[in-house]
Structure 1
Amino acid sequence: MKILVLNAGSSSHKVSLYQLGENLPDDPPPPLWEAKIDWHDHIGVDAVEQLVTTLWRGKSPVLRSSDDIDMVGHRIVHGGRQYEEPVRITPAVKAGIAGVSAFAPLHNRGELEVIDVIEKLFGDIPQIAVFDTGFHRSIPPAAAVYPGPYEWFTEGIRRYGFHGINHQYCAGRAARLLKRDLKTLRLITCHLGNGCSLAAIRGGHSIDTTMGFTPLEGLMMGTRSGSIDPGILPYLLRRGRLQPEEIDDVLNRKSGLLGISGLSSDMRDVLAAIKQGHSRARLAFDIYVHRLQAGIGAMAAALGGIDALVFTAGVGENRRNRCVRSGAVARTSSISCSRQRAGNTSHWLR
């Protein structure tokens, strides 16, 4: 069976083709083909269509035709309260995903557009939606409910958590590499990419995470602020420094590493600027690491100690970002975690 997998992120779109037999392996096999598009203002969903069709129309096709693909899987960032398990995509499912698009403005709408592209190219081929929020359904109410009016919770305003597909995979992979039963482990998985989140995982189940109702909460990210004092927003609105329609854009696209450094949302660019003596790049890095340390401490407290610290995604795994990992674990002696083990986890997960 050939399965095409589409992973829409906030800064890129990854497409991979897999060949699977009847028995599913613990770890995914190497893809038959993979490609990636980095999002820019002038690149839209049409680029995904062009990329997918190169599978059978390109200079070096890997398929005879689109009929060779049996199924398409999509990573969907927000499933809301309705979707926790993978589902086959139908018009009703698409409507449900659209209904929570406001909760994940950088993701869900684009993912729906890609689903439409696949329908255009492949007709009624089975499409499966896998939700990033699903893994965090085990988070207890004390961690999931915001301390505002209780009516918020009854209306679906709660902490959902994100990056769940990757957090779940990394927990299982870490257990196998450590040769431990996942049910016995207390893990903190650190997904550090353009979007960043931590998850506290006990016995294979998420019990807390840093992202919440939207992927904006929590750690400092590439272009997202992470958690800030909510009082800042009405203050800026009252002073005319910010218009209501600008809030989403400022917090999701003009903050984080980009907002503080004034240079880039890419950690590699920030680190290069630090070497050139750029003070705002240094400040951006210091805030990033401080917030990361604080988040790890909070997750460790939820777990009552940790057995391993796992790093994943672009910033977490890149060898050039060792200073991020070393900064993150600089104070782990107080939470009983081996610095050497934490520092090498990204290598283990490859």
Structure 2
Amino acid sequence: MAEKILAINAGSSSLKFKLYAMPAETVMMSGQLDRIGTKTSSFTYVIAGKQSKLVSPIADFVAAIQMVIDTLLSSHVIASKTEIVGVGHRISHGGKYYSQPVLVDADVKAKIHELSVLSPLHNPVNLLGIEAFEKLLPAAKEVAIFDTAFHHTIPAKAYMYALPYSYYEDHGIRRYGFHGPSHEYIAQRAPELFGREQTRRMISCHLGNGGSLTALLDGQSVNSSMGFTPLAGIVMGTRSGDIDPEIIPYIEEELHLDSHAVREMLNQDSGLLGLSGISNDIRDLDIAAEAGNKRAQLALDVYVHQIQQYIGAYTTDLQGLDTLVFTAGIGEHSALIRQRVCENLGYLGVRIDPVKNEANALSIEAADSRVKVAVIPTDEEIVIARDVVQVLGDQA
């Protein structure tokens, strides 16, 4: 008998979801609520191929989730709330505690809260989502799927920081890696599309407002650009990415800022937004750069350069490169970023076909490219739904 599973992906002011009939993996309804907590909140959803959109104030995450449940019922996708047996939540940081998805209980919630200091933009919101669903769908089981779990295969030489060893032993300070469900999906999907031999040594580029690159060897993560927190790695929409750590106490002393203010600056006022002074959106920066804005062009140059650096480093980790994958919002839709990233990778044997690239084709490599270059839309929600089924099955 089919089980209805809800996959939830909560952002700082957004909520993405898909309702699946499992194990067939049929999407019964999908949708996204944006700008939660504002007067211009919107709810876009798709049922049986038909898209609908509502624009109205959504006060908070409880109201957002209530709207989803009400729509499921009024659209007759479900006849009763009790039909939903499991809800899977993408959780940003699982720290040293979790390498697998787990059934949510009081201890799990306490640890998600404890780890909020390491993922301040996401863990608190993830916890709000869990608590709202516990209230509104009391019969369903809640399952936590951690962004960091997929990366527990990274070897010590790649995850250790050169700090006093006791910091690792006593406080779990190490590289964790994030965007696990997305990179896991690419690790599963690419071999289905291109075969295992072609995808043995693969780099997955998850490029969105947040971004990370992962080196995948035989489907397992062996390195990833985000670190102890999602702040590390490449330049992102509003996050700084890698910086000299001495910058932090220097800023605190020179500008008389406390650690909270510096953390907020690094997470919310930096990255593409901080460099350009215009926007955290690549599309806005493309337009501004075309019009001659030098800071917009600088932001794009720094962004592309850092992605190229990680690709070079991870090709070393993999001792070669078979497939390069672009995924997530920018990776899937920005032909310009893909073209700019790849134009300096000829030494690796990467060459792309400009016509295929402009068309966002599945394979965009040129005929003489030694490396497969692919554009694969990510599907974090199906990874979440599969994990829920696994956890509920283990509990049975």
- Per the normalisation by structure 1, the TM-score is 0.91
Residues 77 and 104 of structure 1 are in contact (CA less than 8 Å); yes or no, is this contact kept in structure 2?
A: yes
Residues 188 and 296 of structure 1 are in contact (CA less than 8 Å); yes or no, is this contact kept in structure 2?
A: yes
Matches of 1:101 and 1:239, distance apart in 2: 27
1:202–1:90: structure 2 CA closer, same or farther, 3 Å change rule?
same
Q: Aligned residue for 1:35?
A: 31
Q: Please tell me whether residue 294 in structure 1 is matched to residue 309 in structure 2.
A: yes
Amino acid at match of 1:240: L
Helix, strand or coil at the partner of 1:100: helix
Matches of 1:347 and 1:90, distance apart in 2: 35
Amino acid at match of 1:276: A
Matches of 1:51 and 1:294, distance apart in 2: 44
The Cα of 1:63 is off from its aligned counterpart by 1.9
The Cα of 1:140 is off from its aligned counterpart by 0.6
For this pair of structures, how many residues does the alignment match?
A: 340
Q: Aligned residue for 2:343?
A: 330
Q: Aligned residue for 1:228?
A: 243
Q: Please tell me whether residue 162 in structure 1 is matched to residue 183 in structure 2.
A: no
Which structure exhibits the higher relative contact order, with contacts defined as CA atoms closer than 8 Å and separated by 6 or more residues? 2
Unaligned runs of 5+ in 1: none
Q: Aligned residue for 1:129?
A: 144
Residues 305 and 336 of structure 1 are in contact (CA less than 8 Å); yes or no, is this contact kept in structure 2?
A: no
Q: Aligned residue for 1:177?
A: 193
For residues 143-222 of structure 1, what are the structure 2 equivalents within 5 Å? 143-154=158-169, 155-181=171-197, 185-222=200-237
Matches of 1:237 and 1:291, distance apart in 2: 26
Could you list the per-position Cα deviations for residues 163-215 of structure 1 after superposition, in whole angstroms to 9, with x for gaps in the alignment?
11110111211111112358x61000000011100000101111111001000
Amino acid at match of 2:335: R
Q: Aligned residue for 2:16?
A: 14
Correspondent of 2:131 among 89, 99, 116:
116
Matches of 1:285 and 1:45, distance apart in 2: 34
Q: Greater CA deviation, 238-247 or 89-98?
A: 238-247
Correspondent of 1:46 among 52, 59, 62:
62
Amino acid at match of 2:33: I
Correspondent of 1:250 among 235, 241, 265:
265
Q: Please tell me whether residue 308 in structure 1 is matched to residue 323 in structure 2.
A: yes
Q: Aligned residue for 1:239?
A: 254
State the percentage of identical aligned residues.
Answer: 43
Could you list the per-position Cα deviations for residues 243-293 of structure 1 after superposition, in whole angstroms to 9, with x for gaps in the alignment?
322011100001111111112111112112222222221111111111111
Unaligned runs of 5+ in 2: 39-58, 354-362, 366-372, 380-396
Matches of 1:100 and 1:178, distance apart in 2: 38
Q: Please tell me whether residue 77 in structure 1 is matched to residue 92 in structure 2.
A: yes
The Cα of 1:61 is off from its aligned counterpart by 4.3
Matches of 2:232 and 2:364, distance apart in 1: 24
- Per the normalisation by structure 2, the TM-score is 0.81
Amino acid at match of 1:345: A
Q: Aligned residue for 1:62?
A: 77
